């Protein structure tokens, strides 16, 4: 038998959620063929089979979160001969995990330090974030992971217990009905008029990140109109040759990314982040590109590292590669970490402009609208120009409005006066 384990998908990843088995017990699997899907607090990914054979056992059910190196299933190696696979041993029933309760409405106290808890075992980024958001004293949480490590399930169980105590206290304090008093009937639920289903792991994480970002940063958005006519004509002239030479299309996004990377050098504070009361100026320009997943299932932001060192061709290649692997769940956690600035291209879906949400802990995100031909006044005459709108959302705690506008004007000038060779 070959053990199938929960892989470590990055140095900071200590647990993962098995979201879907792609094979059933008794089905044949080839080596490196996708076997199951996992979701961590960084990325969703397909995990390939470590060997060819038959999936003999499923030990971890879909939806369960386990530590890395946990055996989630077993493969029986075979020589390919047709043979009936034995019935799979049913997985042990998982301990019920209570749903995450809503914290009490009273204003939470400041989050307690976790240094003492670290000594008992490393804390995952997800556990740290939960403790910070819900002001949980991790010293009160019993860890059931390896070496006493506190897992996500431990935190949720602790929160559920605290919520139960609160409900019990309120119930005990409520006055009992007087003897002989008429007890109002419990209303029957109305017929179902909607479908209710739980959020996916990715959607839950997206929701948490969006709310966290809005609560953390002072969001301000500035919008600038950009004349893309020069680039549009260049692209129309070379896009066929570009496709033939490199095997992928040339898009406006690679030009915008190139201009933004140069502007980040001119305005390094836009490439910075806040930690406490300190400003961290990053030495690298690592630009995240927002990718919408198929069927509206989610959004992920893979990172182009050292984007300022790449030309339009290199940026376009990186965008195509990362977007393709994001949609096929082939990204590694390291490829969605370390971003210092982000770009989202909502113009792909026809939007003219929007107000994107900052990807924490970054200080800004640039939204790119659709490039459309519009009548524009040029030298007191009406002309048809290819125009798009750039929307920069920035953290007003760190970036003043004048500086945000100057950054956008720098990007605008690069695009409107484009002179860099592509081919």
Q: Active-site residue numbers?
A: 396, 400
Q: Is the separation of the CB atoms in 391 and 256 below 8 Å?
A: no
The helix/strand/coil state of 96 is coil
Q: Please spell the DSSP secondary structure of 345-383, one letter per residue.
A: -GGGGT-S---PPP-TTBSEEEEE---EEEEEEETTEEE
Phi-psi region of 259 (alpha: psi -120 to 50; beta: other; left: phi over 0): alpha
Kindly state the DSSP code that residue 228 receives in the 8-state scheme.
-
* CA neighbours closer than 13 Å in the CB half-sphere of residue 243: 8
Q: Is the separation of the CB atoms in 358 and 218 below 8 Å?
A: no
Q: Is the separation of the CB atoms in 219 and 396 below 8 Å?
A: yes
Of 323, 282, 280, 286, give the one whose Cα is nearest residue 308: 286
Phi-psi region of 370 (alpha: psi -120 to 50; beta: other; left: phi over 0): beta
How many beta carbons lie within 10 A of that of residue 255, not counting itself? Answer: 25
DSSP element (H, E) containing 57: strand 53-58
**Stated length of the chain:** 423
b/e burial code for range 140-166 (CB count within 10 A of at least 16 → b): ebebebeeebbbbbbbbbbbbeebeee
């Amino acid at each position: 038998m070959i053990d199938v384990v929960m892989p470590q998908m990055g140095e900071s990843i200590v647990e993962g959620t098995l979201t879907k088995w792609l094979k059933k017990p008794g089905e044949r699997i080839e080596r490196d063929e996708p076997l199951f899907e996992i979701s961590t607090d960084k990325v969703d990914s397909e995990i390939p089979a470590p060997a060819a054979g038959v999936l003999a056992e499923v030990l971890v059910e879909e939806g369960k979160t386990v530590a890395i190196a946990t055996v989630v299933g077993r493969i029986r190696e075979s020589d390919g001969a047709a043979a009936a696979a034995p019935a799979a041993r049913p997985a042990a029933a998982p301990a019920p995990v209570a749903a995450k309760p809503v914290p009490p409405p009273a204003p939470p106290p400041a989050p307690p330090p976790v240094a003492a808890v670290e000594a008992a075992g490393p804390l995952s980024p997800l556990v740290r974030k939960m403790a910070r958001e819900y002001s949980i004293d991790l010293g009160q949480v019993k860890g059931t992971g390896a070496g006493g490590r506190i897992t996500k399930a431990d935190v949720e169980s602790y929160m559920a217990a605290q919520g139960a105590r609160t409900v019990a206290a309120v119930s005990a304090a409520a006055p009992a009905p007087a003897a002989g008093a008429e007890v109002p009937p419990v209303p029957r639920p109305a017929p179902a008029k909607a479908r209710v289903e739980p959020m996916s792991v990715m959607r839950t994480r997206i929701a948490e990140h969006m709310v966290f970002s809005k609560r953390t940063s002072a969001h301000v958005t500035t919008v600038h109109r950009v004349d893309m006519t020069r680039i549009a004509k260049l692209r129309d002239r070379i896009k066929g040759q570009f496709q033939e030479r490199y095997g992928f299309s040339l898009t406006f996004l690679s030009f915008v990314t190139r201009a933004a990377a140069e502007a980040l050098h001119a305005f390094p504070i836009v490439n910075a982040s806040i930690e406490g009361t300190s400003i961290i100026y990053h030495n690298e320009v690592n630009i995240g590109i927002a990718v919408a997943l198929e069927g509206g299932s989610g959004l992920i932001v893979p990172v182009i590292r050292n984007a300022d060192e790449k030309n339009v061709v290199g940026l376009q290649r990186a965008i195509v590669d990362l977007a393709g692997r994001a949609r096929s769940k082939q990204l590694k956690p390291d490829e969605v970490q370390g971003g210092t600035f982000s770009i989202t291209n909502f113009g792909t879906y026809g939007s003219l402009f929007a107000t994107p949400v900052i990807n924490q802990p970054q200080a800004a995100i640039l939204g790119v609208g659709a490039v459309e031909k519009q009548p524009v006044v040029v030298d007191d005459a009406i002309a048809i120009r290819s125009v798009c709108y750039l929307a920069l959302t920035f953290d007003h705690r760190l970036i003043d409005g004048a500086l945000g506008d100057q950054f956008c004007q720098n990007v605008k000038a690069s695009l409107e006066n484009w002179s860099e060779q592509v081919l």
